[in-house]
Amino acid sequence: MVSGKNSKAVRNARAAVVNKKSTPWGLIAAVLVVVLFAGAVFGYAFFRNQENSRRTEALAPFTPTAQNQDPARQIEGVEVVSFQGGQHVTPEQQVAYTHNPPMGGAHEFAWAACNGVVYPQAVRSENLVHSLEHGAVWIAYNPDQVTGDALATLRAKVEGQPYMVMSPYPGLDQPISLQSWGHQLKLTDANDIRIDQFVQALRRNQYAHPEPGASCNEMGPGNFVQDDPPAFAPPPAPDAPGAVPEAGQQPSAG
């Protein structure tokens, strides 16, 4: 027979076991997840901040100033040509451009909308050259060579960005070609830092295009409609009937 004393001890031991709190593993795991997530967020933010700082530092030498009016000349591979502005043609005329894509010269009176517009189809060059005259940077690409991630990378540099425009250019001799007024840079890699350097140096650079402050907005019906732009046509040969010289129509002698 169990004595009363022993029975009481057993009951007390059982009560101690019942009353003992269990370890809150679920709560610990949840807190750990939150801490790890917060660490990942702050780590990513720090990394992005470092990346942005490095990018800003890398692009600083390509910011135009009164003392350094054309920093694009420092970019390896950039071609620079002088063009006279204000040479206009009609919608029926074509210009015999000497560069493909063109980067200056005679152009149509109506400019192509160029405030962060990405055109899915090739657009008439004569309109885009007018956009360059207004200070835009035009990213052209060979649609047979630039697709997928490379195309998305270029699109991200243009979409929604003032004085930026992008379109395919059939038959382009390199995957990518950047144009501003009188400047061109051809590249093979959408991640090439020179793309950002070119944009930094030339987009709205008041020293490098003929019409500082001119608009890049859509002109609208009767001129240039962003959602229904005039189609691309290859430039004619200089001696083709009706072709307008790149330098514009010269006044006849006499």
Walking along the chain (254 residues) 10 residues at a time, the average pLDDT comes out as 58 57 80 84 63 72 96 98 96 97 98 98 98 98 98 98 98 98 98 98 98 96 96 96 89 42
Pairing of strands 183-187, 79-80: antiparallel
Residue 86's pLDDT is what? Answer: 95
Query: Residue 80: how many CB atoms within 10 A of its CB?
Result: 14
Q: What is the pLDDT of residue 44?
A: 63
CA 19 to chain centre: 66
Q: What is the pLDDT of residue 49?
A: 60
Helix and strand element counts for the chain (H, E): 5, 10
Helix, strand or coil, per DSSP, at residue 37: helix
Rounded-to-10 torsion of CA 156, 133, 238, 245: 170
The pLDDT assigned to 106 comes to 98
Residue-level pLDDT at 252: 43
Query: Nearest 5°: CA angle at 129, between 138 and 99?
Result: 85
